[in-house]
Homo-oligomer: A and B are copies of this chain.
Amino acid sequence: MASSFGQLFRITTWGESHGGGVGVVIDGCPPRLKLSEADIQPDLDRRRPGQSKIVTPRKESDTVQILSGISTTGRTLGTPISLWVKNEDQRSDAYNEMKDKFRPSHADYTYFAKYGIRAWQGGGRASARETIGRVAAGAIAKKILREKFGVETLAYVKQVQKISAEINPDTVKFSEVESNIVRCPNSLAAEKMIRLIEKMRREGNTVGGIIEGIARGVPAGWGEPVFDKLEADLAKAMLSLPACKGFESGSGFAGTLLTGRDHNDAFRAKDKKVYTTTNRSGGIQGGISNGETIFFRVAFKPVATVMHEQDTVDEKFANTTLKGRGRHDPCVLPRAVPMIEAMTALVLVDHALRQRAQCG
């Protein structure tokens, strides 16, 4: 089940960086939802290569086709929705050297150790192209959350290497996120981030950073006690993204520096509605949403492909060196923003259906 995610709104992705394409099957989608490719393509466009000067210049249109699950009147049938995106810009020769050598801090060696075989072209299944299926499915999840539950999911770049931005999760708007190519809604920080990424590209180097994900309008009561806590499922969702190395919810790691007296979120009530005066819990208590804004941060390591010679080994386990070539992202974050949104929406829509199932 390596390739499936979700209990009730369940997606199964497939495909490698090279071959017939990538896709996703979505099972459990509520019926009668108006849906066409036009609902999905915009998020794929935010994810695709070549969209700006700070991402990889590879040319792939990433055009999505719906193969099943939609009625002739353009509504979901309740049956599996199959989405397919063809691979286009495949230059296997750019990867010739990788045929026998493992790229450092990539998945080449571990796939080989696991399976005794690997698709060496472009990372195979470990390629970021796999996330196309997630983003496409996530677009549907976002639509359901928005239209059926009044929930908005959003993500933005919070930090690139040492450049951090102040952003208010309660008020930030999608249009602000999309107002610049790095997807940081703080325009001053955004400019610095863009300059840094451009510098990295020129130097054949890379940087990582932090994305913040949020969900607004989630009613109190979503999420499960014990193992399928909302934070647990969000953490799994995020850590399942390529290059992700950390997750923290609400006050996160910094919260460990406070004492209990200072950390607790006081409850208050107004017009029979409960709220908290602070939100160090990040909208989740005991694994269950409390009605406040859900927010969390996700750490991405710097992209492993650098245009410099590095020590590595080959498939015969002999020492050698390898220098990155081809067209790569100097920073994965601008393209990872829609991935975070997608994974957030997938977790939430699944828990929305689970809550409806058990508690009516």
Q: Report how far A111 CA is from B220 CA in the complex, Å.
A: 9
A78 contacts B by Cβ under 8 Å = yes
Contacts of A284 in B (CB 8 A): 110
A12 at the interface (CB under 8 A from B): yes
Are the C-beta atoms of A116 and B31 separated by less than 8 Å? yes
Also in contact, A27 and B12, with CB within 8 A (given A227-B3, A240-B226)? yes
Contact residue among B67, B121, B256 (Cβ-Cβ distance under 8 Å from A159)? B256
- Pick the contact of A124: B79, B200, B236 (CB < 8 A): B79
Chain B residues with CB below 8 A from A233, complex form: 236
Are the C-beta atoms of A23 and B67 separated by less than 8 Å? Answer: yes
Known contacts A107-B225, A306-B264; decide if A245 and B239 are in contact (CB<8 Å). no
- The answer to whether A236 touches B246, judged by C-beta atoms less than 8 angstroms apart, is no
Binds B, one of A69-77, A170-178, A187-195: A69-77
Closest B residue to A299 by CB, please name it: B253
* Cβ B245 vs Cβ A255 within 8 A: yes
CA distance A12 to B81 in the complex (A): 11
Q: Indicate with 1 or 0, residue by residue over A230-246, a CB within 8 angstroms of chain B CB atoms.
A: 01111111111010111
* Contact among B121, B227, B288, B302 with A258 in the assembled complex (CB-CB below 8 Å): B302
Q: What is the oligomeric copy number?
A: 4
CB distance from A118 to the nearest CB of B (A): 7
Let me know if A3 and B125 touch, CB within 8 A: no
Establish whether residues A265 and B31, one from each chain, have CB atoms under 8 Å apart when the complex forms: no
A340 adjacent to chain B (CB < 8 Å): no
Alpha-carbon distance A239/B32, docked complex (angstroms): 28
Contact A286 B3 (CB under 8 A): no
A180 within 8 A of B: no
Given A207-B260, A248-B299: A66 touches B20 (CB 8 Å cut-off): yes
Q: Which of A42-50, A51-59, A269-277 contacts B (4 or more CB under 8 A)?
A: A269-277
The 8 Å CB contact of A285, one of B2, B105, B256, is B105
Given B1, B251, B269, B355, which contacts A10 in the complex, CB threshold below 8 Å? B1
The 8 Å CB contact of A82, one of B8, B14, B27, is B14
Report 22 cross-chain contacts, Cβ distance below 8 Å, ordered by A residue. A3-B27, A3-B79, A16-B68, A20-B68, A32-B117, A71-B118, A77-B125, A105-B280, A113-B290, A115-B359, A116-B359, A159-B256, A207-B260, A234-B239, A245-B255, A255-B299, A255-B302, A260-B306, A263-B302, A264-B310, A274-B313, A357-B357
